[in-house]
Amino acid sequence: MYSRHSWFGLLWRHLLIWLGIAYALFPAIWVLSASFNPTNTLVGQKLIPARLTLEHYRTLFSDPTAPFPTWLANTVKVAGVTAVITVLLCALGAYAFSRFRFRGRRSGLLMLLLVQMFPQMLAMVAIYLLLLELGKYFPWLGLNTHLGLIFVYLGGAMGFNTWFMKGYFDTIPRSLEESAMVDGATPFQAFWRIILPLARPILAVILIIQFITSYGEYILASILLKGVDRYTLAVGLRFFIQEAYNRRWGTFAAASIMGAIVIVLIFLPLQRLIISGLTRGAVKE
């Protein structure tokens, strides 16, 4: 039997938990409600609308001045390519730092960590000028190109993710690779066929983290992308709130919900791998 003190403690903990859940869910519920509210104004917003409508969602796919489907496709392309390349490059770099001993290894690791201490925002002017000059010789890699934006994102993603993945590779026994090499496998075959399949959890973690980071990035994308048809979703959403946002609030909310659905669809299949990837690399076995 629980004593009065135990019941009070249990009730207090549950109350705090439900308050935290309500605090976290309220903004999402409020935006979801706004996307179905026919008033389409910030002033008339209610948590439970008197009437529901899908007009805001229809507007997203029919307004020629704000091509939402193009923005969403651009965002998925940029974020997806960035995430995949980040995983491949970080896997190669982390494996080298984890398994091989070479001159400059420790300095290289420290340099990666040191570079990560300075955010990319500090180099906005340098990045802009760099792409401006590159565009004169390689138009496909200059300003207002998705490939240029991808390269900028890759530059900011390599350091931390390489460190993160190296900690996971350290937990994989070296004997597995040694056994494969005894059977005739080359070092790259051992890496590709033995290590990478065992490292799926950390690969999923890096993939989803980098995808979400690139998916919601606004500042660099708004500086480097100039054409409306080149915008990513975060930059494109500015169209709905930069002028008369109180009359386009419902459309903005509908666009936010549609954008969030993509993240949910990617996160759900990978959630088990993400949990194991985040916990296993924390302690070296």
For 176-203, write each residue's pLDDT tens digit: 888 888 888 888 888 998 889 888 888 9
Non-local (6+) Cβ contacts of 173 within 8 A are none
Average pLDDT value for residue range 132-140 = 92
**Of the given ranges (114-128, 211-225, 240-254), which has the lowest mean pLDDT?**
240-254
Q: What residues make up the domain containing 227?
A: 56-280
- pLDDT value, residue 276: 65
Residue 150 neighbours by CB distance under 10 Å: 20
| Residue 215 in tokens | 């998916």
In a domain, 25, yes or no: no
In a domain, 13, yes or no: no
Residue 184 DSSP one-character state:
T
Q: Structural domain tally of the chain? A: 1
Cα-to-chain-centroid distance, residue 267: 10
Residue 46 DSSP one-character state:
-
Q: Examine the pLDDT at 246 and tell me if it is beyond 70.
A: no
For 143-178, write each residue's pLDDT tens digit: 999 999 999 999 888 888 898 899 889 888 888 888
pTM above threshold 0.75: yes
DSSP 15-81: HHHHHHHHHHHHHHHHHHHHHH-TT--STT--SS-SS---HHHHHHTT-TTS-HHHHHHHHHHHHHH
In a domain, 47, yes or no: no
In a domain, 26, yes or no: no
- Cα 283 to Cα 97, 124, 192, 202, 278, distances in angstroms: 17, 36, 24, 14, 10
Rg (CA), the chain: 24
- pLDDT value, residue 218: 92
- Cα 71 to Cα 31, 228, 236, 278, distances in angstroms: 20, 8, 6, 31
132-134-138-141 Cα dihedral, nearest 10 degrees: -70
157-162-168-169 Cα dihedral, nearest 10 degrees: 140
Rounded to whole angstroms, the Cα distance separating 207 from 209 reads: 6
Rounded to whole angstroms, the Cα distance separating 101 from 95 reads: 11
In a domain, 45, yes or no: no
In a domain, 105, yes or no: yes
Please choose, from the candidates 231, 225, 230, 232, the residue with its C-alpha nearest in 3D space to the C-alpha of residue 131. Answer: 225
Q: Which CATH number fits the domain that encloses residue 215?
A: 1.10.3720.10
Please choose, from the candidates 139, 142, 146, 117, the residue with its C-alpha nearest in 3D space to the C-alpha of residue 129. Answer: 142
Kindly report the backbone phi and psi dihedral angles of residue 73, in degrees, each rounded to the nearest multiple of 5, phi listed first.
-65, -40
Between 200-216 and 249-280, two packed helices, what is the crossing angle to 10 degrees?
150
For 42-99, write each residue's pLDDT tens digit: 666 777 777 888 888 998 888 888 899 999 999 999 999 999 999 999 999 999 998 8
In a domain, 183, yes or no: yes
DSSP 136-157: HH-GGGSTT-HHHHHHHHHHHH
In a domain, 231, yes or no: yes
